[in-house]
Chains A and B, each alone.
Chain A
Amino acid sequence: AQSVTQLDSQVPVFEEAPVELRCNYSSSVSVYLFWYVQYPNQGLQLLLKYLSGSTLVKGINGFEAEFNKSQTSFHLRKPSVHISDTAEYFCAVIQGAQKLVFGQGTRLTINP
């Protein structure tokens, strides 16, 4: 079965600083990878996804992620964060044809 590990449960950064949220997945023949964002008391919103093709994926709100097959990683990055980026971020991988397997989440806190 697939598994996803988000290495940091909480990441505090200052506004306008760069940020990287780390995600590692268990190896498989092919993987489809996702990053979702959850603002307080809301559902999840897709930030970006990797299905195939270019390993650098650009998403909404200035986020991007890089698929690294050799390191089985899919880290999320943003060069300059804003207060509004404060949220919880989830990495996920497709398992089989039906299910998403999520990591434990990383709480990103932006300090002014």
Chain B
Amino acid sequence: SQTIHQWPATLVQPVGSPLSLECTVEGTSNPNLYWYRQAAGRGLQLLFYSVGIGQISSEVPQNLSASRPQDRQFILSSKKLLLSDSGFYLCAWRGYDEQYFGPGTRLTVT
């Protein structure tokens, strides 16, 4: 069966520091992968999605970036965090007709 992992589970970072969040999927190959952000009191915002290695589509212009170095690995990065980057970050992969979500990473920028 397929599983999706995210780490770290929680993260507290100062403003201006770099960020790297990792997502890996097991049990499937060449999945579509997605990064969402959920800010406090708001819905889910799609940040990036990828249909294959090295292929990244950005949905919202901001100081975040994404990379897909391997088929089942999706990384969310930032060179310098802003206070507004705080939130709950969710990775997802697309199955046949639905998306499956990871457990999420809670990021607090101080």
Contact = CB atoms under 8 A, between A and B. Distances in A.
Contacts, number: 46
Contacts of B106: 41
B32 A44 contact: no
Contacts of A99: 34, 46, 49, 59
Contacts of A100: 34, 46, 99
Contacts of B102: 43
A40 B49 CA distance: 25
Interface residues of B, number: 23
Interface in A1-45: 32, 34, 36, 41-45
Interface residues of A, number: 20
Question: Which of the listed residues B42, B92, B99, B102 has the most CB atoms from chain A within 10 Å of its own CB?
Answer: B99
A98 B88 CA distance: 22
B75 interface: no
Contacts of A49: 97-98
Given A44-B90, A98-B51, A104 B104 contact: no
Contacts of A101: 46
- Which applies to chain B's interface (DSSP): helix, strand, loop or mixed? strand
Question: Which of the listed residues A32, A41, A43, A105 has the most CB atoms from chain B within 10 Å of its own CB?
Answer: A43
Contact of A104 (B43, B59, B97): B43
B89 to A, nearest CB: 10
Contacts of A43: 90, 101-104
A90 interface: yes
Nearest to A34: B98
Contacts of B34: 99-100
Interface of A: 32, 34, 36, 41-46, 49, 51, 90, 98-105
Interface of B: 32, 34, 42-44, 46, 49, 51, 57, 59, 88, 90, 92, 94, 97-104, 106
Given A41-B104, A44-B90, A100-B46, 19 more contacts: A34-B98, A41-B106, A42-B103, A42-B104, A43-B104, A44-B44, A44-B92, A44-B101, A90-B43, A90-B44, A98-B32, A98-B49, A98-B51, A98-B94, A99-B49, A100-B34, A101-B46, A102-B44, A104-B43
